[in-house]
């Protein structure tokens, strides 16, 4: 009797598993942990389910290296935001043919050391005096170590660096060394993205001075008024100078990549991805919409597609574009 | 039929209110939290300076002697010393000291807080009933839930790491202090009262010495749990071996992560064996 029950339960479980596997025709996106990628996933997912015959789409969550790894192994079909500069093995993987880059999502973003605007200009409304009125460039920081004290070592200043493990972290650290900031500043690695944004937004809410690495497009820089510190201009003929930290950060190429398997399986959808294009500005606008209205990513994606209707013609065949327009109604 | 499988109703509850309250609270009482932060940073700095002041070979000598005396075998001491010097060979000695400064500070604070609380709840059944669910919560609440708010109050770095570690690690010390004092034989306590000791004298001269092996076991557990938080705390910027592991994992550099992870394990094992040795030594001296 016992065996019979166990057998029944097992076969039932197997049955549901099989039926789950056979009926779904789903698309798997990467969720590397920040808002903009979820937004782009929603836009691409909405188009996939409404014009390319997918039943549904889902996200696999993880960090930058984990989602990149997932794309290499094929567990993730589409990665909408590969921050190529933050993945040390990206070029190598591409050359080895481990994944396919199908398009560029955006490549006009900024990153670098930011300070709140009130640090330089003050804020009469909040009663904040300018603390570092002549701070304009990374090199100027040297004069202001007392403005940004390090709690753990009060005789030095503190600069929040990038997330440990991101490629840009090495570059920012080089920049810190190259400009001789190590004399009177500590380069403080914040450990994780939420920790860094909590440090910057916490300081901003309290009106305290803070200097740290951040990047656009993000909700944080959309919501708070931060100023990017200038640096020597980037020279495209000498990219190694950038890696050594001598120049400002050029925009990162944020690409759309797909797994090899998926590239074979659905070339039609990959053609759409290769035409897909946004910009730092557009993405920030969508993220600001999420912050302001409290809409989820899916609703924001619909709002975005309605607002920028002309993109549908750029990205899709006329009949498919019509399917999306019908679905949006 | 839907209500049969799906929960039938939801209370509209706006969790963003909590965000606002926490944020306002952190701004309003900034001075208070900054004071705590300064105090903690001061403590960590003293511990770290103390550790840095000790030359490496003294550490290794101390480990040999303790391992030898506590287990009775010279061989054990030498094995521990070999493992410890491995950390030096890996070039992770300074990072180890940084990690130890967080762990040691957390354990010190745990003793200062946990030991008296353990005694208090061993004396009153009612307080025990109130405190126990709180202790359960401290151990099971996912760390990240209070790690990020801790950032808003205490900034990034070692101070919030010590707070998070203490919240997690203080629990076994409280529990086992409580347990140890409760399990002292009633007859022994009655005898001490019959001889005219006051309540404090009974506690100080009879109950605590009798409970010491159990309390030491609690301390050992506290130490181990503090070690297990090392990597988690690196996610809020606590430098040391944990940060090395985190960088290794984030970059998919398995070797780097594995070496730093091994160093964490070595420290944990040595600390565990030495404190367990103390427990055994206490048990032996009690039985004589």
A-interface mutation test, from B39, B251, B260, most A Cβ less than 10 A away: B251
Contact status of A155 with chain B (Cβ, < 8 Å): no
Q: Which of B30, B243, B252 sits opposite A65 (nearest CB)?
A: B252
> Which residues 228-267 in chain B show a CB within 8 A of chain A?
234-239, 243, 246-247, 249-252
Interval B80-104: pLDDT, tens: 999 999 999 999 999 999 999 999 9
Tens digit of pLDDT at every position of chain A (329 positions): 677 777 777 776 766 665 544 446 889 999 887 788 999 999 999 999 998 888 889 888 887 888 888 899 888 999 999 988 778 788 888 898 889 999 999 888 888 999 999 999 888 888 888 888 888 898 988 888 888 988 888 888 999 999 887 778 888 999 999 998 998 899 999 888 888 988 898 888 888 899 999 988 887 887 788 999 988 888 878 878 888 888 888 888 899 999 998 999 888 899 999 999 898 888 888 888 887 788 889 999 999 999 998 898 889 988 888 989 988 88
Q: What's the predicted TM-score (pTM) here?
A: 0.77
Task: Give whole-number Cα distances, A33 to A72, A216, A222, B20, B279, in Å.
Answer: 18, 15, 18, 23, 45
Binning pLDDT at 50, 70 and 90, where does residue B287 land? low
Could you tell me the two tokens for A134?
């002549």
Q: How far apart are CA B12 and CA B18, in angstroms?
A: 14
Residues linked to residue A158 through DSSP beta bridges, in sequence order: A186
Please check whether residue A113 is in contact with residue A213, taking contact to mean a CB–CB distance below 8 angstroms: yes
Please name the residues in contact with B264: beta carbons below 8 A apart, sequence gap of 6 or more. Answer: B99, B227, B230, B231, B241, B242, B245
Please check whether residue A151 is in contact with residue B159, taking contact to mean a CB–CB distance below 8 angstroms: yes
Q: What is the 3-state secondary structure (H, E, C) of B150-196?
A: HHHHHCCCHHHHHHHHHHHHHHHHHHHHHHHHHCCCHHHHHHHHHCC
Cβ-based contacts of A89 with chain B (< 8 Å): 252
Q: How far apart are CA A193 and CA B148, in angstroms?
A: 11
């Amino acid at each position: 009797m016992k065996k019979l029950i166990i057998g029944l339960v097992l076969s039932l479980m197997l049955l549901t598993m099989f039926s789950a596997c056979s009926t779904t025709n789903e698309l798997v996106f990467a969720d590397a942990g920040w808002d903009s990628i979820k937004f782009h996933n929603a836009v691409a997912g909405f188009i996939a389910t409404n014009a390319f015959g997918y039943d549904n789409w889902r996200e696999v969550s993880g960090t930058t290296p984990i989602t990149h790894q997932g794309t290499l192994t094929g567990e993730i079909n589409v990665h909408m935001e590969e921050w190529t500069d933050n993945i040390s093995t990206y070029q190598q993987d591409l050359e080895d043919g481990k994944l396919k880059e199908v398009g560029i999502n955006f490549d006009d973003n900024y990153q670098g050391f930011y300070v709140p605007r009130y640090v330089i200009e003050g804020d009469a409304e909040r009663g904040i005096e300018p603390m570092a009125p002549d701070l304009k460039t990374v090199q100027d920081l040297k004069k202001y170590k007392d403005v940004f004290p390090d709690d753990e070592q009060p005789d030095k200043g503190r600069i929040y660096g990038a997330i440990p493990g991101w490629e840009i972290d090495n570059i920012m650290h080089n920049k810190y060394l190259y400009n001789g900031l190590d004399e009177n500043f500590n380069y403080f690695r914040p450990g994780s993205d939420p920790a860094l944004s909590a440090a910057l937004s916490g300081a901003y809410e309290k009106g305290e001075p803070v200097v740290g690495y951040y990047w656009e497009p993000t909700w944080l820089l959309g919501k708070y008024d931060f100023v990017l510190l200038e640096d020597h201009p980037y020279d495209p003929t000498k990219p190694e100078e950038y890696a050594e930290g001598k120049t400002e950060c050029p925009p990162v190429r944020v690409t759309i990549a797909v797994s090899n398997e998926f590239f074979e399986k659905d070339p039609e959808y990959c053609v759409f991805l290769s035409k897909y294009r946004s910009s730092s500005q557009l993405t920030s606008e969508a993220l600001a919409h999420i912050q302001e209205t409290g809409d989820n990513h899916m609703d924001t994606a619909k709002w975005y597609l309605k607002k920028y209707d002309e993109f549908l013609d750029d990205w899709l065949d006329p009949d498919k574009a019509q399917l999306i327009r019908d679905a949006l109604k | 039929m839907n209500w049969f499988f799906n929960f039938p109703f939801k209370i509209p509850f706006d969790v963003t209110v909590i965000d606002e309250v926490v944020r306002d609270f952190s701004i309003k009482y900034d001075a208070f939290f900054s004071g705590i932060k300064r105090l903690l940073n001061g403590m960590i700095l003293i511990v770290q300076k103390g550790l840095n002041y000790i030359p490496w070979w003294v550490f290794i000598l101390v480990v040999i002697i303790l391992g030898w005396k506590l287990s009775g075998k010279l061989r054990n001491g030498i094995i521990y010393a070999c493992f410890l010097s491995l950390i030096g060979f890996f070039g992770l000695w300074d990072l180890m000291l940084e990690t130890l400064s967080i762990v040691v500070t957390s354990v010190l604070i745990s003793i200062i807080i946990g030991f008296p609380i353990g005694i208090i709840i061993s004396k009153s059944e009612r307080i025990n009933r109130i405190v126990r669910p709180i202790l359960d919560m401290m151990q099971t609440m996912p760390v990240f839930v209070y790690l990020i708010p801790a950032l808003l109050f205490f900034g990034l770095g070692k101070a919030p790491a010590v707070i998070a570690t203490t919240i997690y690690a203080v629990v076994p010390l409280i529990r086992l202090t409580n347990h140890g004092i409760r399990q002292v034989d009633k007859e022994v306590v009655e005898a001490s009262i019959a001889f005219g000791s006051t309540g404090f004298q009974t506690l100080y001269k009879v109950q605590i010495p009798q409970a010491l092996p159990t309390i030491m076991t609690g301390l050992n557990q506290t130490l181990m749990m503090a070690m297990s938080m090392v990597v988690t705390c690196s996610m809020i910027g606590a430098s040391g071996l944990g940060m090395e592991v985190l960088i290794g994992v984030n970059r998919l550099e398995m070797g780097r992560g594995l070496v730093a992870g091994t160093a964490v394990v070595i420290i944990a094992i040595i600390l565990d064996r030495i404190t367990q040795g103390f427990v055994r030594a206490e048990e032996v001296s009690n039985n004589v």
